[in-house]
Chains A and B, each alone.
Chain A
């Protein structure tokens, strides 16, 4: 990174992207439940409120589906709204407007309509958040053509992906992850304006197997890497970043080199982005695989609230080390 960088947290980088987008273009506005001047969506919209006030940071009634329709309308009228849901489970109340409308209007209008809308939300994994707030439901959003889905896993990418989303002419969903250490984790972030490309990122180069991670699973894979190094195993870690469009070329190229594929996801396993990656690799690079692809994802149960059960629910570095060891024996 260049000399314009400083060390800031993921949360600060996200807040900076929102503010920067609003400074760059007066058509950008923020809207959402709890976008107020007290909590400011976990503090993320406070810098924007201080600078632009309630006319461009709009706190709203509790109307997830309606709000999504309102911002679609505003986008059709030339604005670039950023709709914020405090937890991604609230987005399920807006599926109709997101998927039946925002994702289809460009196509249904023969390209004459564009919907430059960003939907920003958060996976709030924490003990006690329970069966809905801990949802990590990115895969269902990525099912629909017409809408992009990104999950930034570093301070640098959360800024660049948010800016790319806001200035994209089509609808984009950005899901941040509020679990620590990611949310409070600092990283080198440029002060300048930049957009993250619609590609996966090779987070760590390696040679023995390919680990594709989604969102915060990147941090688990990086931790696992230390344990694996002691066993003489050097994985290549790919941070997926965008679920749609999916950058399968980067993954296939890596698997052609390593011959092994492990996907670590923060969502459930069935009918998921991990299913999709394994299927695509099977279709495109079957002959390169030296063992069955493996997946680490959530077990088929809702997330328990209890702090005694919750730690067993999510993927962790130990699971990754164990799975990789099994794969390397084959």
Chain B
């Protein structure tokens, strides 16, 4: 597992997500994005760690906070940047936007911003895969707020009763918008409330440690491949606003002290410690940054040069018509 190249690959994937979202931050600050952007800065280790346990044919679904999942699963960066700018070359031809990113070819089936909705899609894809006898599993990513939705429990119940190959990954970042989990749920810990549904459930107290995420995900994925649905509660922390690209300590719903505790658990710093043990030099990280910057520059150029959707696109691909 701790093969040097593998560790470097993990760092690269996390760094790619961070740098893309820093580019989006630039765009937002320059008022180039006409949409609410939900950044996953701080939470990169969950997306990359879980994805490392998957095979290319496995599928994922995500939420409004989908950039990290999309990129970690191998989604096309050019189409993502074009979509966020509302361009015709975007992954949804500009009609889905930042909260609907998906890339079928990479196995990212769909993202849906209404909290909880996409969890049920994952169960449906898993049902379909099982009916067709296909060798793939499905991962649903969602936040701790989604656990309050009926559709989460309907999904867990159905997956358990029908023994479906689905892995539920709850990114518990403590807040649904601005409300702390202790004001929304009977306990701050979720996994033990899922277990009684005959679902294997594990809590990762520090899911910013990517190596822990991979260990847990790999063992869970093995069970899921045997049609035993599993649940991972991955505790992490969103460093930016609920939506928007700035910090939000001034709002007073959470303290800077709390944020600093999580900053100390920064996924990059934690992995760098391992790098030191394995003597991976700083120079290699610089090289990664250069490579990613080049990819981002190309995607940015592609997105800006792309045409906007045409007026005919307004009423095309609606369905429901003759």
Contact = CB atoms under 8 A, between A and B. Distances in A.
Interface string A123-157: 00000000000000000000011111000000000
Contacts of B92: 108-110, 112
Contact of A110 (B93, B109, B320, B321): B93
A30 interface: no
Interface in B94-138: 94-96, 100, 102, 104, 109-110, 112, 114, 117, 119-129, 131-132
B151 interface: yes
A185 interface: no
Interface of A: 29, 55-56, 58, 60-61, 63, 65-79, 96-97, 100-101, 103, 105-115, 144-148, 170-171, 198, 244-245
Contact of B95 (A65, A107, A171): A107
A74 B110 contact: no
A114 B317 CA distance: 9
Interface residues of B, number: 46
B154 interface: yes
Nearest to A170: B319
A201 B154 CA distance: 41
Nearest to A244: B320
Contacts of B127: 70, 73-74
A107 B128 contact: no
Contacts of B154: 61, 63, 65-67
Contacts, number: 153
Contact of B150 (A56, A65, A103, A108): A65
A98 to B, nearest CB: 11
A106 B100 contact: no
Given A73-B123, A74-B127, A111 B93 contact: yes
Nearest to B138: A73
Given A66-B151, A78-B128, A112-B104, A103 B320 contact: yes
A277 B34 CA distance: 38
Contacts of A115: 319
B161 interface: yes
Given A63-B158, A70-B120, 19 more contacts: A55-B131, A58-B162, A70-B155, A72-B120, A72-B121, A73-B121, A76-B121, A76-B125, A79-B131, A96-B114, A97-B120, A107-B319, A109-B91, A110-B92, A110-B93, A111-B93, A146-B319, A146-B320, A170-B319
A79 B120 CA distance: 15
A60 B105 CA distance: 31
A56 B130 CA distance: 12
Contact of B117 (A69, A112, A148, A198): A69
Contacts of B151: 65-66, 69, 96-97
Given A70-B158, A110-B93, A77 B128 contact: yes
Nearest to A75: B124
Interface string B157-175: 1100110000000000000
A308 B274 CA distance: 79
Contact of B319 (A72, A106, A112): A106
10 contacts: A66-B151, A66-B154, A69-B120, A73-B125, A74-B127, A101-B117, A106-B317, A110-B92, A146-B318, A170-B319
